[in-house]
Amino acid sequence: MDILSRAHERGETLDLQAFIDQIPYTRFLNIKVDRKGSEITTILKFHHELIGNPSLPALHGGAIGAFLETTAIIQLAYEISSGKLPKPVDITIDYLRSGRPVDTYARARINKQGRRVANVHVEAWQEDRFKPIAAAHGHFLLTPPDEG
Amino acid sequence: MTDNKAAARNLALMRMKEALIEHVPHARAIGMTVVDVRRGQAWLMVPYDAKLVGNPDTGVIHGGVITTLLDNASGAAVQLALPERQAIATLDLRIDYMKPATPGEDLHCHAHCYKLTRNIAFVRGVAYHKDPADPIATSVGTFMLAANRAEVMPVEIDKILGKEAQ
C-alpha cells in the first residue's frame, strides 16, 4: 500500500487512521484508531451489522476475530515499518465473554519480532479493561517472500 | 407422491438453510448464504464483494471475512450435529491461512462437527474457492454446549450482596 511505503521511505510516522481507512473491510466494520504516543487502542464502533446473535444480543465471533486481526496488523504497521502490509499466517482466538452491543476496544503487543515473521498477542474488552471479551495470538509474515 | 415427498424435503431443507443464518445480521451484511447441510456438516459461501477487500492494492479479501465464514459454518455444523436446538458458544477458533483468496472469486467453506461430548463440540473447517483440497484456510474450533447466555452478573451480585434482599 502506498501509504505504508511512503511512510517507510520518508521515515515518517504512519497516520494509522488514514492507513486503515484505505482498507474497505475495516471501513465496513467501522474501526477507529486512537494513538497516544506509542500506545495504540483500536475501537470497533458498535452498529447493528456486527450482531451475530440477536436474541442475547451479542457481537458475531467472526467480527470480533476480524477486529483482533486488524488490531494486530495496525500494531505491526506502526512498530515495524517495512512498507508492506503484514499477512496473517495463523490466528487463534479465545472467546472469553459474549460481546455486548456496545463499542469494543483492543490493544496488541508484539511478543516476538523476527526478520520474516512476528508473533502478536491481542486483547479486546468493552466497559472493563480487566474483563476481556476475547484474546488472540497469531503469526504474521512481515515481507512475504513471493512479493519481494 | 415421491415427487411430493422430494418437494417437501427440499422445502424443509431450504427452510433449515435460511433458519441457520437469517437471524444473523452480520452474516447477512456480508452476503453469506448456506449452500448445503448434512448431519453435523455445513457448506456456506460469501460472494466476492469490493467492500470485503483487505488489501486495496491487490483486491484480496480480508482475513477477517474468512474468520467470520469459518466461525459461522463451524457453529452451524454444531447445530446440525445436535439432537435438538440449544445455545452454543465458541470457546476458541484457530485459523491457518494457506494462501490468499483470489480476487473476484466467491469464498466457499465446509465445516464438520466430528465429535460431540456432553459439554463440548469439536469442529474442523476449510475455506476454498472451488476445490476443498486446495484450501485458502483451515480451522479447528471448540464450542461449549448449552451455553447459558453468559449471564454471570447475577452470580456476582449474589457474591457481593449476599443472596437475600437487603
- What CATH number has the domain bearing residue A133? 3.10.129.10
State the residue for C-alpha cell 495463523. A90
Cα distance between residue B131 and residue A132, in whole Å: 38
How far apart CA A40 and CA A33 sit, in angstroms, is 7
Q: Is residue B67 very low, low, confident or very high in pLDDT (cuts 50, 70, 90)? A: very high
Mean pLDDT of chain B: 86
Domain tally, chain A: 1
Grid coordinates standing for A8? 517507510
Q: Establish if B166 belongs to a structural domain.
A: no
Partner residue opposite A66 with nearest CB, options B53, B67, B152:
B67
Q: Which residue of B32, B79, B90, B149 to mutate against A (max A Cβ within 10 Å)?
A: B90
Query: Under an 8 A CB cutoff, do A29 and B72 touch?
Result: no
Find which of A2, A53, A94, A146 to mutate to test the B interface (most B CBs within 10 Å of its CB).
Answer: A53
The residue written with cell numbers 497469531 in the block is A138
Structural domain includes residue B7: yes
pLDDT at A71: 96
Overall number of domains in chain B: 1
**Could you tell me which residues are beta bridge partners of residue B121?**
B116, B143
**Strands B120-128 and B107-116, sheet pairing:** antiparallel
What number is the average pLDDT over the span B84-95?
90
**Taking phi first (over 0 means left), then psi (-120 to 50 degrees means alpha), and beta for anything else, what does residue B59 get?**
left
Q: Is B131 within a domain? A: yes
pLDDT digits (tens, 9 = 90+) for B97-149: 999 999 999 999 999 999 999 999 999 999 999 999 999 999 999 999 987 55
Between B143 and B20, where is the model more confident?
Answer: B143
- Contact A17/B at CB under 8 A: no
Q: What is the pLDDT of residue B148?
A: 56
With beta carbons less than 8 A apart as the criterion, state whether B24 and B72 touch: yes
ipTM given for this complex: 0.91
Q: Would the CA dihedral through A11, A13, A14, A15 be positive or negative? A: negative
Q: Do the Cβ atoms of B52 and A67 come within 8 Å?
A: no
CB contact under 8 A, A65 and B68: yes
Give the domain range for residue B55: 2-161
- Mean predicted confidence (pLDDT) in B48-75: 94
Query: Taking 50 as the threshold, does the pLDDT of residue B164 lie above it?
Result: no
Interchain contact, A62 vs B26, CB within 8 Å: yes
Instruction: Domain of residue A115: give its range.
Output: 2-147
CATH code for the domain of B91: 3.10.129.10
Give whole-number Cα distances, A32 to A136, B22, B31, in Å. Answer: 19, 29, 24
B153 vs A contacts (CB less than 8 Å): none
Please report the pLDDT score of residue A83 as a whole number: 77
Per residue of chain A (148 residues), what is the pLDDT tens digit? 778 888 878 877 888 899 899 999 999 999 999 999 889 999 999 999 999 988 889 999 999 999 999 999 999 999 987 778 899 999 999 999 999 999 999 999 999 999 899 999 999 999 999 999 999 999 999 975 444 4
